[in-house]
């Protein structure tokens, strides 16, 4: 890792093997880790992750020599997904694009909290991911503000903190979480 953080879009790509069979194993390990972390938190068993991926523990360690390497890569991969979602939503109406992206962000925060909490907020990976997330989602809020459908007395950091606060709460189910998010977003939307 260099002293200067890589753009988040390059983090996973730089670590991903080039051989097709090795890349398949790498992708399977990321998917299995994502599921295991969502179910069991930061203490998910690496042996369970390898088993879910259908590979041996040696393959896991070849790709991710430390638990931290696995956390960082899963986190960066999830942020890459959020950044791609922002690009895909950019052509929609401003309010719809913003709220659709925030819905994906909420799902990400709920299921990925263990990965995020296992990382140091000052690590190069975390900072690159944060910058990429702000770079992808921030323009969606700015566009909604320029269109007159979102309050202008807030910035993207305010919005993410509000949504992160909502996701930190335990809900009966996803439907209740989505209702609470919709209520909060009503406070962001300008009068129609």
DSSP per position, 66-113:
SHHHHHHHHHHHHHHHHHHHHHHHTTS-HHHHHHHHHHHHHHHHHHHH
Name the residue with higher pLDDT: 138 or 192: 138
What is the per-residue pLDDT for 112? 65
Classify residue 11 by burial, with Cβ atoms within 10 Å: 0-12, 13-18, 19+: buried
Instruction: Write phi, then psi, for 189 (nearest 5 degrees).
Output: -75, 140
Instruction: Check whether 2 has a pLDDT greater than 80.
Output: no
Q: Which residue has the higher pLDDT, 178 or 49?
A: 49
Looking at per-residue pLDDT, the higher value among 18 and 140 belongs to: 140
On the question of pLDDT at 149 being above 80, the answer is yes
pLDDT of 55 > 70? The answer is yes
Residue 119 has pLDDT above 50, yes or no: yes
How many other C-beta atoms are found inside a 10 Å radius of the C-beta of residue 88? 13
- So what's the pLDDT on residue 1? 31
* Residues 53, 68: Cα–Cα separation, whole Å: 18
Q: According to the model, what pLDDT value does residue 7 have?
A: 62
Structure-model confidence comparison of residues 72 and 162, the more confident one: 162
User: What gap in Å lies between CA 91 and CA 104, rounded to an integer?
Assistant: 16
pLDDT of amino acid 6: 46
Structure tokens that stand for 92 in this block: 């929609």
Band (pLDDT 50/70/90 cuts) for residue 147 is: very high
């Amino acid at each position: 890792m260099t002293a200067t953080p890589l753009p988040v879009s390059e983090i996973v790509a730089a670590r991903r093997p080039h051989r097709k069979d090795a890349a398949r194993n790498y992708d399977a390990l990321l998917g299995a880790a994502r599921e295991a972390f969502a179910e069991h938190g930061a203490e998910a068993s690496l042996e369970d992750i390898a088993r879910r991926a259908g590979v041996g523990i040696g393959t896991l360690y070849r790709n991710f020599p430390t638990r931290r390497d696995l956390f960082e890569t899963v986190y960066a991969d999830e942020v890459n997904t959020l950044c791609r979602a922002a690009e895909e939503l950019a052509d929609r109406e401003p309010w719809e694009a913003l709220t659709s992206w925030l819905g994906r962000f909420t799902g990400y925060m709920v299921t990925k909290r263990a990965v995020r909490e296992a990382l140091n907020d000052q690590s190069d990976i975390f900072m690159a991911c944060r910058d990429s997330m702000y770079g992808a989602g921030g323009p969606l809020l700015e566009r909604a503000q320029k269109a007159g459908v979102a309050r202008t007395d807030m910035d993207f950091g305010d919005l993410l903190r509000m949504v992160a606060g909502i996701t930190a709460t335990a809900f009966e189910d996803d439907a209740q979480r989505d209702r609470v998010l919709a209520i909060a977003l009503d406070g962001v939307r300008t009068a129609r």
